[in-house]
Amino acid sequence: MIARSLTDKGRYWILILPALAIMLTFYIWPLVEIFGISFSEPKPGFENYVSMFDSRPIRTSFVITFRVAAITTIWCLVLGYIVSYAIYNTAPRYVGLMIALVLLPFWLSVLIRSFAWIVLLGRSGVVNDSLGAVGLINEPLPLMHNEFGVILSMVHVMLPFAILPIMANMKGISRAYVDAARGLGASELRAFVSVYFPQTLPGVLSAALLVFVLALGFYITPALLGGGRVLMISEYITYQIQELLNWGVGTSLSVALLLATAAVILAAGRFVNLRRTLLERR
Amino acid sequence: MSGDSFKFGQDDIAFKQDLGDIALERYRAGKIDRRSALAMLGALGLVPLLGDKALANAKELVLVNWGGKAKDVLQEIMGDTYAKEAGIKVVVDGAGPSAGKIRAMVESGAVVWDVCDSGPGSAIILGERGITQPIDYSIVDKANIIEPFTWEFGCANYFYSYTLCCNPTMLEAVPQNWADVWNVKDFPGKRTFRKSVRGMLEPAAMAMGAAPSEVYEFLGDEAGIKAAIEKFREIREHIIVWPSGSMSQQLFLQKEVAIGCIWSTRAHLLKDEMPDGSFTTTFNQGVLSPGAWVVPKHNPAGTEQAMRFIAHTADPELQVKWLEAMGPGPANPAAAALVPDDLKAWNPSSPENRATQTVYNDAWYAKNQVWAEELYVDALIN
């Protein structure tokens, strides 16, 4: 009865109300509390933020975070582009299989994948043991407990996030343009650089944004493979709260990370269609 | 809002929880008697803690530790034996009696805990604030506890150490002291230190020549602390940190590190897990740290019962069983002689091993930990 008296719009609101309530209670409200704590513990004021900017390890940790995220993004774009290109432009028969292989790692938790890398990259891990057995190296290579290991594993985890937007973009590109360029006498390379690549740029930019933003908040992989010296902000937050019970600094770091991420997204908004990238993906 | 607002009384919770994990590993390895499925569920946190609390009444004694399988070990070695002797049921609750929780419980007037596994730092601050009861040394015999680890409001229950461990098969020579550990030229290989600063600056100070007895004098001022921090910056390229006890063990097992400063309880496990000759520990220049029993005010079983229980736990034979089960060093000086020969070298509180160690100083950490921690992280990443 009541429902009938409502407009369509009203009915939609009732439908999303449970989801909205859950978001408000379990996501928005705790977030507001986080903001609150960052300004009130141990005493009210901006003290946490001031000490955050004064602290050299925190500054370094931010630099490490952005550097690792940036390098991860670049590698993901390069590799992701090649994979997507291969999927749509080489063997059409295997498109389904290749997409399945891209998606497969999604079903494994990041934790498991990081542990798998530990097994591979350790001093007595699979890679070092094999290289040693063939006689290519005398001493095990330092493959993990450093930035190399962290980035390698992060690229692995993030690759599908780069591939999917690029692939979606490539799917909509007609072969006809490249064929026309070739027909007009452009070389294979020229046709790619001047005709094909510019059309894939929106996909590349959305992939870049997605990977970079997700990489900024990465926790498990650097914690497991960084050996303590690739201290990204998320890990630093855990450390402040769990080890030092320093909720003031921990929460203000969270707020800073959130703001930094928001800034990245806003800046990217000038180049990327955010609505398409973040809201209507896949 | 911030959990423990009781910073000064904050003991090394991470260690206590780690002890629980250790017991679990021993259980898997068949070194601890089989316990019921219910106890396993309890260790996993699947039996609600409220169950234990609801049971609390004067006909039983509630002993609180930090959970994990250590809960079952404590139940078996100390709880069940006391139940037989005193005719009162002993229930071990693994809720983790942090200073903040004990304070909240006493201040709310609903005390359900009788004896808590705490630390000297908490024991002192809780006592000063009138939250815990003084230990009745007419019941708990001071002679049964290694000197000077008896305080007005708490007494030592066991010991653990930060010790120098290494894998000789990965090294040409075995490092004997911290100066050797800092000598990366003659002792090449990765080292592991704790992710937190706790128990780490002491080795650095000793590497610079401070005697074990003078460590905290050396670290007594800013210059000393900064010098110790710089020591870590020196070898940062050679360091992998351990964020948890199990991780420190893994690093040795997977031969990621050749040398490390880890908990003696983890070394106790490694000595059995590593192939013969590939793991050694020395208590030379170790950092010895005691745990402490404390009794909250108005505990349900009454003061006398709690004190009698504490006296019971000081039994040297039980203490040796505890060491055998999971590695904590006995608090009773008489226990060291009863330790089987093959375990003597692994007992952090034997007279020989105590003689070469420094004693973890809670007051120093209360004063300096937060800012030393920041410098420590800086040294490792910058």
Query: How far is it, in rounded angstroms, from Cα B347 to Cα B159?
Result: 9
Are B15 and B133 found together in one domain? yes
In this predicted structure, what is the pLDDT of residue B294? 96
Give the rounded distance of the alpha carbon of A11 from its chain centre.
36
Instruction: Note the ipTM here.
Output: 0.81
Segment B165-180 shows an average pLDDT of 95
Asked if B221 and B327 sit in the same domain, the reply is no
Q: Average the pLDDT over B320-336 and give the result.
A: 93
* Cross-chain Cβ contact A246/B370 below 8 Å: yes
Grade residue B30 by pLDDT with cuts at 50, 70 and 90. Answer: low
Are both B87 and B129 inside the same structural domain? yes
- Please report the domains of chain A, with CATH numbers, ordered by start residue: 56-279 (1.10.3720.10)
pLDDT in tens, A210-226: 999 999 999 989 988 99
Please check whether residues B282 and B325 belong to one and the same domain. Answer: no
CATH number, residue B15: 3.40.190.10
Q: Look up residue A25 and give its two tokens.
A: 């209670």
B146 lies in some domain = yes
Average pLDDT over residues B323-343: 93
Q: For residue B29, is pLDDT > 80?
A: no
Query: Is there a single domain that holds both residue B131 and residue B28?
Result: yes
- Is this prediction's pTM over 0.90? no
B262 and B313 fall within a common domain: no
How many CB pairs below 8 Å do chains A and B form together?
69
- The reply to whether B210 and B254 lie within a common domain is yes
- Residue B255 inside a domain? The answer is yes
Contacts of B370 in chain A (CB under 8 A): 244, 246
Per-residue H/E/C for A127-162: HHHHHHHHCCCCCCCCCCCCHHHHHHHHHHHHHHHH
B369 and A244 within 8 Å at the Cβ level: the answer is yes
Give the residue from chain B lying closest to A34, CA to CA. Answer: B1
Q: Are residues B133 and B48 in the same domain?
A: yes
Q: Count how many domains chain B has.
A: 2
Q: How confident is the model at residue B175 (pLDDT cuts 50, 70, 90)?
A: very high
Distance from CA of A269 to the nearest CA of B (A): 33
Q: Is B2 domain-assigned? A: no
The tens digit of pLDDT for each residue in B86-142 reads 999 999 998 889 888 898 889 888 899 999 999 888 898 889 889 999 999 999 999
CA distances B244 to A136, A252, B211, B229, B251, Å, are: 34, 25, 28, 21, 11
- Residue B4 in contact with partner chain A when CB distance is under 8 A: yes
**Given pLDDT bands bounded at 50, 70 and 90, which one contains residue B8?**
very low
User: Which among A11, A142, A147 has a CA at the least distance from the CA of A70?
Assistant: A147
Which residue in A244, A246, A247, A253 has the most chain B C-beta atoms within 10 A of its own C-beta, making it the best mutation to test that interface? A244
Q: Which candidate from A61, A125, A247 shows the least CB-CB separation from B381? A: A61
The kind and range of the H/E element at B89 are: strand B89-93
HEC-encoded secondary structure of B253-275 = HCCCCCEEEEEHHHHHHHHHHCC
DSSP E strands in B239-333: the ranges are 239-242, 259-263, 280-294, 329-330
Return mean pLDDT, chain B. 87
Spatial separation of the C-alpha atoms in residues B150 and B154, rounded to whole Å: 6
Q: Report whether pLDDT(A282) > 60.
A: no
Q: What is the pLDDT of residues B275-291, one digit of tens each?
A: 999 999 999 999 999 99
Instruction: Please state, for a pLDDT cut of 70, what percent of chain B lies above it.
Output: 88
pLDDT of residue A172: 86
Q: What is the mean pLDDT of residues B14-35?
A: 65
Tell me whether the omega of the peptide bond preceding residue B351 falls within 30 degrees of 0, making it cis: no
DSSP B213: G
> How far is Cα B312 from Cα B306, in angstroms, rounded to an integer?
10
Q: Are residues B193 and B93 in the same domain?
A: no
My answer on whether B20 and B148 are in the same domain is yes
Spatial CB neighbours of B186, under 8 Å, sequence gap ≥ 6: B172, B173, B180
Name the more confident of A8 and B162.
Answer: B162
Using the structure block, give the residue that is written with the tokens 């959990």: B3
In this structure, are B271 and B307 located in the same domain?
Answer: no
B101 touches chain A (CB under 8 A): no
B380 in reach of chain A (CB within 8 A):
yes
Range of the domain at B80: 7-159+289-355
Pick the residue from chain A with its C-alpha nearest to B370. A244
Residues of A in Cβ contact (< 8 Å) with B239: 227-229
**B348 strand-pairing partners:** none
Considering the domain architecture, whether residues B151 and B28 belong to the same structural domain is answered as yes
Interface of A with B (CB under 8 A): 37, 41, 55-57, 60-61, 64, 118, 122-125, 145, 223, 227-231, 236, 239, 243-247
Residue B1 lies in a domain: no
Tens-digit pLDDT profile for residues A158-172: 999 999 999 989 988
